[in-house]
Chains A and B, each alone.
Chain A
Amino acid sequence: MNSLDRRRFLTRAVLGTATTVVTASALGAVSPEVAIAEPAFEVEPGGIDPNFAEGRITGIKGALLMVSGSDGVLHQIQLTSGTSVWKLRPATIDAAAVGDGLYARGVRLPDGTLAADAVWLNIVNLQVNITSIGKDVLHLDHNGNLIVGHVVAGTTATVYNGTPAVTDLSLLQVGKHVQVLGAWRPDTNEVDLATVFAAA
């Protein structure tokens, strides 16, 4: 099934216009037991989470990413069709490039490979101060270092005072603190902005 057919099928499944959605399981009631259950978290405080990996991509073989961690550990990360890839926006494995920074979460297989459920490429989360605003660009001060934040049309969103995200960036002010989520451009001081959290 190609991606267009897949989208069409899934749309029919959820909106209920399909005549027979044989495989769609019905949604049960919201059970309080699930909501208040203790999350299964087996990592000791301060211990290494085996189901998480971090580093820079040093090689790509099909759907297998070779990653060199910042602590010197080498990881092999296997992606599948069920793996979500984020690179400024939801993307596919084709978006991964050698040199990209990466965080991955998944399940560690017996051979040491991490079967990834989710991969975030070049994601950064920064507390910064806006020093100037230009056309499609924010200059940000991060502990005295300049970071250039690029506004990406159709993607960059702003959350003002915790209200729903909007694409309007015209309430951003010079001299104010903001938190930005974005995608780093490897080996530069530039990021593409995904979400800017600001007070207005």
Chain B
Amino acid sequence: MMQWLAGAQPVLVGGVLAWAGAIKVFGRSAELAARRSALRRLVGTGRVFAVYRAVGGVELAVATLLVLPPAHPAKGIAALVLAVGMVGYLGYARFAAPESSCGCLGEKHTPVRTRSFARAGVLVLASGTAMFAMDWWPVPFLDRPLATVGLLAAEAALVVVLSPELDGVWLVPLRRLRLRISHPLAGRPFEIPLESTVQQLHRSAAYRAVADQLRSDLLDSWDEGEWRMLTYSTGPATAVFAVPRLKYDPAQVKVVLVDEEVLV
């Protein structure tokens, strides 16, 4: 059982490393991804792309070693070193450059958060298990084909779920589908928001005429039939605007300035 588990892990680790390496070496916007990553903080802007590519090359090399025969503990150890280094890099990124991108498994800008650490943890476990593989990975496949495919599919799914870079591929479409079936914010009562009335006020000649005298922001508002009243302070007086509430007609906006002294 343990042998079977260990024997299958090089496929997962190799696959993830190949994916990570390929994006760094062959990615179309690899240079941009490198500059956005926390690596820039670590090695400097001048060297960041070369280092980013080199890391990708190492990842590709380890991935190739892992999937090629024969099985050897050294390969698992190499992957483990990479995975532990990854955790260290994430820790550095989280605390030294929290707004920069991970640059790990995709070119999308994704700051390092809990999920990135969890994914690196999964890779540490898988690489650690892979060290104990005695047989080349096709052996467990031939022994228990269905179980092996199922195990690797589940592990791959876990890595995908823990990759914020890939949310756009599965999570966003899923949530969009959910909204198309029923939008949680649909069917709310129709009201004219205050913001709409204020926008209409700003486009009226009446507002332009007194705008340079207004000192305060909106003081008070209330509805009066088909009008909505908005008041502003000019200092010694209060500017009262009557804005059509149910239609858009800025030409109808009325204004009057009322001396504060008569309002006491």
Contacts and interface: CB of A to CB of B under 8 A. Distances in A.
A82 B179 CA distance: 45
B181 interface: no
B185 A133 contact: yes
B216 A84 contact: yes
B163 interface: no
B229 A117 contact: no
A179 B231 CA distance: 27
Contacts of B99: 143-144
A24 B241 CA distance: 12
A14 B185 contact: no
B256 A13 contact: yes
What DSSP secondary structure best describes chain B's contact surface? mixed
Interface string A2-33: 01001101110111100001111101111000
Contacts of B175: 131-133, 174-175
Contacts of A185: none
Nearest to B99: A143
Interface string B175-210: 110010001111111111111100110000110111
Interface stretch (B68-76, B80-88, B117-125, B219-227): B219-227
A127 B16 CA distance: 33
B209 A157 contact: no
Contacts of B37: none
A10 B200 contact: no
A84 B219 contact: yes
Contacts of A170: 183, 185-188
Nearest to A151: B185
Interface residues of A, number: 62
Nearest to B218: A90
B258 interface: yes
Contacts of B9: none
A14 B229 contact: yes
B195 A14 contact: no
Given A169-B185, A170-B186, A86 B212 contact: no
Contact of A175 (B168, B189, B242): B168
A42 to B, nearest CB: 16
B217 A86 contact: yes
Interface string A150-161: 010111110100
B111 A14 contact: no
Contacts of A165: 193, 195-196, 199
B148 interface: no
Given A27-B210, A143-B111, A11 B188 contact: no
B263 interface: yes
Given A10-B231, A28-B209, A90 B219 contact: yes
Nearest to A174: B175
B248 interface: yes
Interface in A104-143: 117-118, 120, 131-136, 143
Contacts of A156: 193
Interface string B136-179: 00000000000000000000000000000001100010011001
A27 B188 contact: no
A13 B224 CA distance: 13
Nearest to B219: A84
Contacts of A28: 209
14 contacts: A13-B240, A14-B241, A15-B242, A23-B262, A24-B258, A27-B210, A143-B99, A143-B111, A167-B189, A168-B188, A172-B185, A174-B176, A174-B179, A175-B172
Interface of B: 99, 110-113, 167-168, 172, 175-176, 179, 183-196, 199-200, 205-206, 208-210, 212, 215-222, 224, 227, 229, 231-233, 235, 237-238, 240-242, 248, 254-264
* A-B CB proximity, top 5 nearest: A144-B111, A157-B193, A82-B233, A170-B186, A84-B216
